[in-house]
Amino acid sequence: MFNIMKTAILMAAITALFMVIGAMLGGRQGMMLALLFALGMNFFSYWFSDKMVLRMYNAQQVDAASAPQFYAMVQELAQRAGLPMPRVYLIQEDAPNAFATGRNPEHAAVAATTGILRVLSARELRGVMAHELAHVKHRDILISTIAATMAGAISALANFAMFFGGRDEEGRPANPLAGILVAILAPLAASLIQMAISRAREFEADRGGAQISGDPAALAAALQKIEAYAHGTTFQTAEEHPATAQMMILNPLHAGGIDRLFSTHPSTQERVGRLMQMAQGDARAWQG
């Protein structure tokens, strides 16, 4: 219920933001056009944002025939978690990572890169997919997917603002207000995501995934290995769409500056420490 409330607040906040910017750029008519756009975006985000994100990453759906071992692993973990079987996708990408998406457990999907399948052992991969299914079980996936879609919409609005009113002879935006909006919209989009998505959800998904798999140490080892490989491997699609980075099991972004604002992951070291305490039976690992 709490995640549903956060989703509604996020959608309302972005609708209001669109209306304010529309009014600034086009007065009453601009505000009404922005309202219509925001309402359409909200509808689209709720029903189709998962499909958009999967298409963005060129994810290919697999089944028991095309990826028997991976599919069977997800199926076994979903049964252990008491979840409906999600759709399963593979992304042809060397960078090791994975994410879950969808509007609810009945319409969920999990995706993993081919790189993570090569890098991790079967035991470690099982820990990662259990983590993603924990996100499904905790109903984190709707707000994270909508946040990524909405941030993309805000970026599109920033591009519109940049070109609004045309350009001067030197190619600069002719409308000074548009230039100001471009400077503030991307950080504002990142801030909205930060407010909507707590870093604590990753700790909870780690704990939930460890409980589903019954192997906290495997997830801890997977996180360490993913981070080690990620430093030397660029995840190009994530770099091009930094708002989607918060969906991944580990932050895939290398760039600094504004892109870093989209990071919603706690440190790997702290996550691994808590998982190892859990493996040793220390209930205090998740306190504080």
Q: Which residues form the catalytic set?
A: 132
Q: Comparing C-alpha atoms, which of 53, 58, 60 is closest to residue 145?
A: 53
d(CA 69, CA 277): 30
Strand partners, 90: 60, 112
Q: Comparing C-alpha atoms, which of 45, 47, 41, 49 is closest to residue 15?
A: 41
Structure token pair of residue 105: 């457990």
d(CA 109, CA 84): 10
227, 94 contact by CB (below 8 A): no
First CA to last CA distance, the chain:
23
